[in-house]
Amino acid sequence: MIIKADKYRERVSKLRPRLFIGGKRVEKLMDHPITRAVIEAGVKTCELSNDPRYEDIMTAKSHLSGEKISRAVYIPASTEDMEKRLEMSRLFSRELGTCNPRCAEAALFPVLFATTWEMDKKKGTDYHQRFVKYLKYIQENDLMVNAAITDVRGDRSKRPLEQQDPDSYLHIVERKSDGIVVRGARQNQTIAYACDEILVVPGIVFRPGEEDYAVSFVVPNGTEGMTFISQYNAWSAEREYAEDIRYLGNPYGQRETCLIIFDNVFIPWERVFLCGETEYLPALLSRFAKNSRFNGAGACKAGFMDLIIGATKTISEYHGLSNKPRIIDEITRMIEIRDTCWACGIAAAHKGKEEPVGSGVWFSDEILSNITKLNAGRFWEVLELAGDIAGGIIATMPHERELENPEVKEYVAKYLKTSVPAYKRMRMIKFLQTWVCGFHGVEAWHGGGPRQAEMISLYRLTDLEGVKEVAKKLAGLQD
């Protein structure tokens, strides 16, 4: 099924997470400007998924049911599928300018599909069967599933069991006949409170002896014991008190994440997909890294850069500067970064392969996925170039509501117009301000793992012996 926008809005308005934003409880998601923006982003994804122009990108045929489903919950079975996923992500990013609620499931369902398949095959467990059943349910209802991955980690130089507080990493506190009880927290989750379900997967490789931490499961939004504590920053305050959504630069919000508390939450066995099998974590995390780095970096950030480049070019035209050699040079450098990032994503998809062989699931190439993410880290340069071109006004502009203020509106209209009326310039500047002066730089840098994580992977994965050998041969040092 592909859910329609109105059906989605109806369904999501019934969710009742225990949610706090800026110190206050939010009862109904449609009643708060921040959560409403997140839902409208979800609505937009439904519209795009039902748009016939994008059918090929946004939908696929389930190999479980044979029905048309959202590509976000589809298990990719070819490099062609991987490339379409890139196109889906880029379309979401450039149409929303913020996170979309389909991101996490698209990244993680293939990982769990492959890893549970492997476990069942080698260990005779029934995880895969459970997961496939669950996946059918998701596909049939086109549910949106968020993922909770990153532990709070306490003292980062210590392992989980060495921490002062054992809950610094989420773990099983009790194993019962009908399920498990878990405690801990997961952080940095965008959109989680507005999704139908939350999927938990381990965020690091837990080792033998740390089996209680090696756990993956799924839990419906609103389950007893779960609390969402949303980020609340300056942009949140601005949105909370804004009288008009047009004043905010982006109607779909600014990617507020949340901290999710699991306070003795009960999970029935049929919703548990990994429970203590530490030996499968290296493969699971490598698969997740591939998916989040080739796609979340290559495609998602390319989509954001589309917006930034488009806004910057527009402003340069509004300011009468678009033909200056320096401006053209700087915009071309922005394009260079975007297209490098995109090219690396394409290559990572194209060089992907089935993993494990026989599972039917395809993943991108690991080295090239890391390369993609490393190039996406140049996002910050794009912001810097945008800031340079837009000029000081991007940091100093009066508020658009002054155009409604009878005492000064004529002044503002008179002095902020350029070749276009003041309101056009002000909106485009505001839109670009959300990027250049906002939280996106850091988010692009750290989302999917910081640069250092990719560097470590890259060094480890590279065939250095091979290149040493060819160098020695030419240097006359054949052994």
For every residue of 233-268, DSSP letters joined together read -HHHHHHHH-S-GGGGS-TT----EEEEEEEEEEEE
157 binds a copy of itself (CB under 8 A): yes
The count of C-alpha atoms lying within 13 angstroms of the C-alpha of 419, restricted to the half-sphere facing its C-beta, is 9
d(CA 406, CA 305): 37
Candidates 2, 54, 388, 453: give the one binding a copy of itself (CB under 8 A).
Answer: 388
CA distances to 271, 447, 449, 453 from 374, in Å: 35, 11, 10, 10
Q: What is the DSSP letter of 18?
A: -
Binding test (CB under 8 A) with a copy of itself, winner from 30, 63, 336, 353 = 336
Asked if 86 touches a copy of itself (CB under 8 A), the answer is no
Length of the chain: 479
Q: Which stretch binds a copy of itself (CB under 8 A): 67-75, 216-224, 280-288, 306-314?
A: 306-314
Helix (H) or strand (E) holding 376: helix 366-376
Tell me the DSSP string of 107-157: HHHHHHHHHHHHHHHHH--SHHHHHHHHHHHHHHHT--EEEE-EE--SSTT
- The reply to whether 394 sits near a copy of itself by the rule CB under 8 A is yes
* Secondary structure class of 403 (helix, strand, coil): helix
Q: Is 53 in the site for a copy of itself (CB under 8 A)?
A: no
Nearer to a copy of itself, 208 or 392 (CB): 392
The least distance separating a copy of itself from the CB of residue 423, rounded to whole angstroms, comes to 9
Tell the residue number behind the tokens 């698969």, with chain if given: 287
Q: Rule CB under 8 A: which of 113-132 touch a copy of itself?
A: none
Q: C-beta of 207: minimal distance to a copy of itself in Å?
A: 19
Q: Maximum distance among all alpha carbons in the chain?
A: 85
| # residues contacting a copy of itself (CB under 8 A) | 147
Q: Which of residues 219-238 bind a copy of itself (CB under 8 A)?
A: 227, 229-238
**Interface with a copy of itself (CB under 8 A), residue from 124, 177, 178, 407:** 407
Are 361 and 291 a contacting pair, CB within 8 Å? no
Residue 261 makes contact with a copy of itself by CB under 8 A: yes
Dihedral (Cα; 379, 385, 386, 390), 10-degree rounding: 170
Tokens of 138: 């998701």
The residue range among 9-17, 208-216, 269-277, 329-337 that interacts with a copy of itself, by the rule CB under 8 A, is: 329-337
Residue span binding a copy of itself (CB under 8 A) among the ranges 134-142, 201-209, 210-218, 440-448: 440-448
Asked if 42 touches a copy of itself (CB under 8 A), the answer is: no
- Of 6, 51, 268, 455, which lies in the binding site for a copy of itself, with binding defined by CB under 8 A? 455
Closest distance of CB 224 from a copy of itself, Å: 15
Q: Does 41 bind a copy of itself (CB under 8 A)?
A: no
Identify the residue among 77, 152, 161, 283 touching a copy of itself (CB under 8 A).
152
Burial class (CB in 10 A: 0-12, 13-18, 19+), 209: exposed
Of 251 and 356, nearer to a copy of itself (C-beta) is 251
Name residues contacting a copy of itself, limited to 348-377 (CB under 8 A): 348, 350-351, 367-368, 371-372, 374-375
> Within a 13 Å sphere around the CA of 445, how many CA atoms are in the beta-carbon half?
10
216 binds a copy of itself (CB under 8 A): no
Residue among 46, 112, 195, 311 that touches a copy of itself (CB under 8 A): 311
